Structure 1
């Protein structure tokens, strides 16, 4: 990563990487299919980490909680290699094709968690929910990590992720209550008193656990 940043990504050959690593060119290609993969050496390992967390979730675990737990583990693994993550962020902002590759790498996480949720959410769950939840959880993860790298490690991504996941949980609780509770429809006159009453009800609803 240091070579790519110092000399320019396009100017560094696989042979130069092999020489700097004291291995042969053949050895490099034994581990990486292309030069682009050299920038993302940890993604396959981290994808495996997420898959293991999902597979090892205890029986009866809420599937959304399992995905949240796996995502938290993924973030902590990212943060265990700060130099790699920060340098890669700089590099992907310089080289557009690597930025595109990064988006593809993130889609692998979404595909994995979407498949897990599709197989485990209740049968009556809306058909869009596995994709929506997988994308939402990944977006919160990427936001927390992105804020951290943009601020050169000065933010607290774990706290941001935790807050985001609590928001997801609250949203699901409210959705469940809304989908099962009977509805009451009323027609009220548009008056200042009615508006004050509706505002009071709205504020009370927002305070519900």
Structure 2
């Protein structure tokens, strides 16, 4: 099993503490062992294969929590709870035009106020227009880890980053997409790099 970068800073101290505590205070050792196992499970990074059918794939595992129009463009947001894989993926093939970190609050990622949260916006220029993928921090997610930089070439479904412990990932579609082009509804469960969100 592959793991997202950063798991060692949480898992290694937990396992070391568990080994020491097993001789001093076994209940604490058991708790630390369980926490270390949880960290490995949370940072899991399974392989994904984009579907043969064309379309914009989900940037994240979770459920669709946002569908709205912003200045003529449609935004689709996916809320990741603690049980979901938190590695984000490219919704379309293209070139990374910009990666911008925006400081902000840490409201629950499923709330309306989460639009003001800390985020990283990744602009991707594709054959059919400009997409923006936003990695949005949540109440407990204080670290956003983009893997890409300006100029990188992406294939659909490539890993583009991850967020620690609960969050949201959005894709802002180019102008020209309409609500009729969407293939998902609010509340629907989706998988990063595999579920098609929209096509035209």
Higher strand share: 2
Same fold? TM cut 0.5: no
Q: Considering only CA atoms, is the larger Rg found in Structure 1 or Structure 2? A: 1
TM-score, structure 1 as length reference: 0.27
TM-score, structure 2 as length reference: 0.28
Name the structure, 1 or 2, with higher relative contact order (CA <8 Å, separation 6+).
Answer: 2
